Structure 1
Amino acid sequence: MFTPIHHYHCPACNSDKVEYALTAKDHTVSKDNFDIWHCNQCSIRFTQDVPGIDQIGPYYQSANYISHSNTKKGFINQLYHLVRNYTLGSKARLINKHSGKSTGRLLDIGAGVGAFAATMKLKGWHTTALEPDASARAEAKKEYGIDLLMPDILYSFEPHSFDVITLWHVLEHVHDLQGYWKIFNHILPVGGKLLIAVPNYTSGDAEHYGSIWAAYDVPRHLYHFSPASMAHLAGMHGFTVVATQPMWFDSFYVSMLSEQYQHGATRYLSAFWQGLKSNLAAISNPNKCSSVIYILQKN
């Protein structure tokens, strides 16, 4: 058992205009149910009664948790690796475009097994990468020969230490949400870029699957972002959203997992159709995509 964290105010904007939204199941590890609440002020959602940072570790202990294990077991995970090999290059190009630099000082928070950090090192960026999970750090050393640091070092960086900070599907896992945003502001110079990729609960696939939507991923996902909530949170901490970028592949990946959770087996045709519908709705508005990359600039 653990001591749950219960929020009476919104963890993002501190409003007391919060209410129950839905209940989601942890399909990956515990099979336990967790309530998700909604903030009527900033529109963020958050998982209620989650384990604290010192107690949540067991909920990540699964051979199927790909960002830590790097597993290629099963079709969905094989597909994940194929897509990742493509997206690593697109992320690097996105950083070069929005930072205006071909090299610089980059901090990658929540590096997983280190694939992105290794890519940026090869492209000449001075890359520092942080990862709390010991097995993921070991995999990064084995696979890429890079040393990932514990996230605690984040609190000791000097002002203006980095040109770019990246969090690829990480911010939704961070217990110290406000503290991290203060650090982002502290260690970036004015004009420095912050790239945050998170699932979008206002997407078409999220609407279709409801509480079964795999990207709720309770209790590992502590927060569930909308574009409006990200812009609100950024503004509170001295950042402006200057661009958004859709993550087109995520709708298919999340739909496949959602189908698996819903039916006990992946219905690939149905998953493809739901992912495609979600993406078609997002063509004219990237903020409707299953996952969104927010490019933020320090004011």
Structure 2
Amino acid sequence: MVSARRVISRFVYGSRYDGIPWGQRVYVRPGERLAREVQWRMRLRRAPVITLQDYQARTGLGEIEEFVTCHMCGDTRQQPLFRPADGKGKWTYQVVRCPACGFLYRNPNIRPERLGDLYAKNYSGFLTGTYAAGRQRRYRLTMDAFSPVFDKGDDGGRDRRLLDFGCGAGLFLEIAEERGFDAVGIDLSPDSVAEANRRLTRARAYHGVPQDVPEIAGGGFDVITLWSVLAHLPRPIQDFKMFRSLLGPGGVLLILTVNAASLQLKAYGSKWNGFTRNHLMFYSAETMPALLRRTGFAGVAFAPFYGDTVEAGTTKLPEPMRRRLRRNVRAADGGNMLRALAFADEEAIERWGAGLEVRHLSAEPALP
């Protein structure tokens, strides 16, 4: 059955954009970016801001949930915006916006000790198969966007140490091996870790948390990677303080996560593909620096995301559409995925920041 959205889109734009991936259409159809921005501002204007007490009184609390306040600035007020659901009655939750800093997060959120309830027992089965090729392509495209940080693991005869936090079935660790990094990974899914170690040659994956693995707890890493992990972390301040402590001088932290400023979110609301069953918090280029600054990082740089198939060249766009896509992504939000490189200190900025637009966080006032 053809959706009403598709019928309206065909009526307004015709079939010219049918060959473009759905996620990129909002960036290439004439006038749509501005229309979606107006739509977003109207949504914010209409959504009421209420106290946490009022929000708690009107909102149900599940067995594994807890009410939280803004992790970025501490504001307790709530602006309910979205109610994502799977459409099959299996899950639904509420997403609120902090009226002070704009941070989007799930509330009620999942209690950290019950986070495992969101993941299937055979999670490694999801992380392999047809999923693997697409993920590894995305990893390589993101690594290229931050060249030369990931071009090679060798540094003057020393293999640079890399930690892949939330390594899953080892898809990225395979690439890190290929490029010569001294790589380790860690994950909370035992079957994923077992699958990773079956795939790897030199790198090794561990089950558990960093402080329980001596090889990781000692720190001194040159690179830490978070591939689609950040949205899953219920205590980001605590975790990012740990990441900072594990990085050595000149170290960098790579982050790939869904983008809460995405034009797709503004267009599709609760049906946005970034609202998945196990996502807890949603960052943008405006809110992520607050997290990094509070946890001791010196700087951050972002790389725009134009879409996997567009960047890989498997989707061929006419040159006018390609230019419009790039222009709108840069002008609007950076794309549907947020790609960031965080610098542990000034040494890291000096070494790896060339050619990037680095935002110096140490020069900005600290939040309370």
TM-score of the aligned structures, taking structure 2 as reference length: 0.63
2:85 to 6, 13, 25: 25
Q: Which residue of 1 aligns with 2:188?
A: 132
Report the Cα offset of residue 184 of structure 1.
Answer: 1.7
Q: Which residue of 1 aligns with 2:199?
A: 143
Q: Which residue of 2 aligns with 1:188?
A: 247
Q: Which residue of 1 aligns with 2:267?
A: 208
Which letter maps to 2:205?
A: L
Report the Cα offset of residue 45 of structure 1.
Answer: 0.9
1:237 to 292, 295, 318: 295
For residues 116-161 of structure 1, give each alpha carbon's deviation from its aligned partner in whole angstroms, at most 9, with x where no partner exists: 1121122211111011112212222333356421241247655651
Report the Cα offset of residue 174 of structure 1.
Answer: 1.3
1:288 to 334, 343, 348: 334
Does residue 1:248 correspond to 2:306, yes or no?
A: yes
Pairs within 5 Å for 1:4-43: 4-7=65-68, 9-26=69-86, 31-43=90-102
Which letter maps to 2:173?
A: A
Q: How many residues get paired?
A: 265
How far apart in 2 are the matches of 1:215 and 1:125?
Answer: 31
2:116 to 57, 61, 79: 57
- Residues 158 and 110 of structure 1: CA distance in aligned 2, closer, same or farther (over 3 Å): closer
Q: Which residue of 2 aligns with 1:166?
A: 225
- Residues 105 and 95 of structure 1: CA distance in aligned 2, closer, same or farther (over 3 Å): farther
Q: Which residue of 2 aligns with 1:260?
A: none
TM-score of the aligned structures, taking structure 1 as reference length: 0.76
Report the Cα offset of residue 98 of structure 1.
Answer: 3.5
Report the Cα offset of residue 215 of structure 1.
Answer: 0.9
Q: Which residue of 2 aligns with 1:121?
A: 177
- Residues 139 and 158 of structure 1: CA distance in aligned 2, closer, same or farther (over 3 Å): closer
Which letter maps to 1:87?
A: R
Confirm or deny: 8 A CA contact 1:12 1:233 kept in the other structure. Answer: yes
Q: Which residue of 1 aligns with 2:135?
A: 84
Report the Cα offset of residue 231 of structure 1.
Answer: 1.1
Report the Cα offset of residue 86 of structure 1.
Answer: 2.7
- The higher radius of gyration belongs to 2
Does residue 1:110 correspond to 2:161, yes or no?
A: no
Confirm or deny: 8 A CA contact 2:64 2:110 kept in the other structure. Answer: yes
Which letter maps to 1:14?
A: G
Which letter maps to 2:342?
A: L
1:297 to 343, 351, 358: 343
Report the Cα offset of residue 187 of structure 1.
Answer: 1.6
For residues 245-292 of structure 1, give each alpha carbon's deviation from its aligned partner in whole angstroms, at most 9, with x where no partner exists: 23333699xxxxxxxxxxxxxxxxxxxxxxx99955644348431001
For residues 78-103 of structure 1, give each alpha carbon's deviation from its aligned partner in whole angstroms, at most 9, with x where no partner exists: 4x544334334334445651479643
How far apart in 1 are the matches of 2:71 and 2:188?
Answer: 22
Confirm or deny: 8 A CA contact 2:222 2:248 kept in the other structure. Answer: yes
- Residues 87 and 100 of structure 1: CA distance in aligned 2, closer, same or farther (over 3 Å): closer
- Residues 196 and 282 of structure 1: CA distance in aligned 2, closer, same or farther (over 3 Å): farther
Name whichever of 141-150 and 131-140 sits farther off: 141-150
Does residue 1:224 correspond to 2:282, yes or no?
A: yes
How far apart in 2 are the matches of 1:182 and 1:229?
Answer: 17
Q: In structure 1, list runs of 5 or more residues that go unmatched.
A: 73-77, 253-275
Does residue 1:197 correspond to 2:256, yes or no?
A: yes
Q: In structure 2, list runs of 5 or more residues that go unmatched.
A: 1-61, 155-159, 311-321, 346-368
How far apart in 1 are the matches of 2:269 and 2:75?
Answer: 25
Which letter maps to 1:236?
A: R
Q: Secondary structure at the match of 2:83?
A: strand
Report the Cα offset of residue 109 of structure 1.
Answer: 0.5
Confirm or deny: 8 A CA contact 2:174 2:200 kept in the other structure. Answer: yes
Report the Cα offset of residue 224 of structure 1.
Answer: 0.7
Percent of aligned positions that are identical: 23
